[in-house]
Structure 1
Amino acid sequence: MTLAGRHILLTGAARGLGAKIARRLAECDARLILADIAEGEGHATAEATGARFVKVDLGDPASISACAEAVREETGGTLHGLVNNGAIATGIGGIAYDAIEIESWDLVQRVNVRGTWLMTRACAPMLIAAGTGRVVNVASDTALWGAPNLLSYVASKGAVISMTRSLARELGPDRVAVTAVAPGILTTESTEYVPEQRHQQYSQGRAVPGPQGPEEITDSIAFLLSEGALPLTGQVLPLNNGYVFA
């Protein structure tokens, strides 16, 4: 797999899955721009992958616009790939639908849903200019099987899946492919507070039993960013070792 010469913007790149994606894309020789709200860890990941780091707050439209402008200056206005990985998972430890605070619900939707839309909208002209633009949205298989006690997060990732399909049709005429990956629970920092029972549920329920690390899905993301991924536009790939089948 090679992404040599392809400029790719990755959000949520500072740690966890995002950092693993960054390292894999760097191995594929992509020209990376990493974005995250966490500056310290973001700069460290950028240094480790030979990338440029840009701070972004996905809950702030002005910050997203500034990030896109920085990408435009860095790439000369041509962007080959966007990975919308940045998200928050408030309540990931488990909280009932009737115990979610309205402010918490709104924050999750603002970052995960609106942030994904605004970042895609801001980058679309550069993706179109590339002629082989690719957008990969990181969703979650919780939206495919309806995980309980995680409603705000599940709703946000369900919206990301729906947006993927709609954007694939809107951007398709410009040969921009839009896909989504829907991993299950991965062994990253963001899942440290998930109840052990849920971890066991996934480990035992997968067709390939056991825990799943973030490095197991990075090759698939790299392929979806390649020129050969155009036929997959609009598809949602449940990269969860067989916990949910599409």
Structure 2
Amino acid sequence: MVRACKEHLLKSDNPSVVNISSIAGIKGIGSSMAYASSKGALNTMTKSMARNLGPIRVNAVCPGFIQGEWLKKGLGDDIYNASLKNVENSTPLGLAVTPEQVADVIYNFIDISKTVTGETFLVDGGYHLTI
């Protein structure tokens, strides 16, 4: 997709691509090896794209546990609530991130961080420090 958009991106004053990855791609966690592997590959592709597509900036945002209805529906109330409490009690910031907080980081990569490229940025309240 980026290849198809490259010429349009280059016409922008601030060309940027933000890939949505996961903590699973960095820490190798989760219930699916295929998912973690695919996110690890996306992180590597992000670095390759940043190296080869400059001046287009390419970064990846890697959320951890994201609180919200989507995850609650997937896990069920009991497992979700236990997981949420565990994340809130174990992370240095004492919180589980929200979709809005992840969106804020994505916005910052797109609009503000004009000197950042090739980065994989964890958005997890410090959860990665505990596992």
8 Å CA contact retained: 1:177, 1:229: no
In the TM superposition, what are the counterparts of 1:3-152 in structure 2 within 5 Å? 119-152=1-34
Q: Structure 1 residues 143 and 203 mapped into 2: Cα distance closer, same or farther (>3 Å)?
A: farther
Query: How many Å apart are 1:138 and its aligned residue?
Result: 0.9
Q: Which has the higher contact order (CA 8 A, sep 6+)?
A: 2
**Cα distance in 2 between the residues matched to 1:177 and 1:166:** 11
**Cα distance in 2 between the residues matched to 1:122 and 1:220:** 25
**Cα distance in 1 between the residues matched to 2:83 and 2:25:** 15
8 Å CA contact retained: 2:96, 2:125: no
Which blocks of at least 5 consecutive residues in structure 2 are unaligned? Answer: none
Q: Report the number of matched residues.
A: 124
Aligned to 1:219: 104
**Cα distance in 2 between the residues matched to 1:166 and 1:144:** 16
**Cα distance in 1 between the residues matched to 2:5 and 2:15:** 10
Q: Aligned AA for 1:242?
A: G
Query: How many Å apart are 1:211 and its aligned residue?
Result: 2.8
Aligned to 2:64: 184
Query: How many Å apart are 1:204 and its aligned residue?
Result: 2.6
Question: Which moves more between the two structures, 161-170 or 210-219?
Answer: 210-219
Report the secondary structure of 1:179's partner residue.
strand
8 Å CA contact retained: 1:208, 1:242: yes
**Cα distance in 2 between the residues matched to 1:156 and 1:218:** 22
Q: Structure 1 residues 202 and 143 mapped into 2: Cα distance closer, same or farther (>3 Å)?
A: farther
Report the secondary structure of 1:164's partner residue.
helix
Which blocks of at least 5 consecutive residues in structure 1 are unaligned? Answer: 1-118
- What do residues 22-53 of structure 1 show as CA deviations (whole Å, max 9, x unaligned)? xxxxxxxxxxxxxxxxxxxxxxxxxxxxxxxx
TM-score, normalising length from structure 1? Answer: 0.46
Q: Structure 1 residues 132 and 211 mapped into 2: Cα distance closer, same or farther (>3 Å)?
A: closer
TM-score, normalising length from structure 2? Answer: 0.82
Q: Aligned AA for 1:213?
A: T
Query: How many Å apart are 1:133 and its aligned residue?
Result: 0.8
Q: Structure 1 residues 148 and 168 mapped into 2: Cα distance closer, same or farther (>3 Å)?
A: same
Pick the aligned partner of 1:160 from 35, 42, 54.
Answer: 42
Report the secondary structure of 2:5's partner residue.
helix
2:93 counterpart of 1:208: yes
**Cα distance in 1 between the residues matched to 2:105 and 2:49:** 20
Q: Structure 1 residues 188 and 224 mapped into 2: Cα distance closer, same or farther (>3 Å)?
A: same
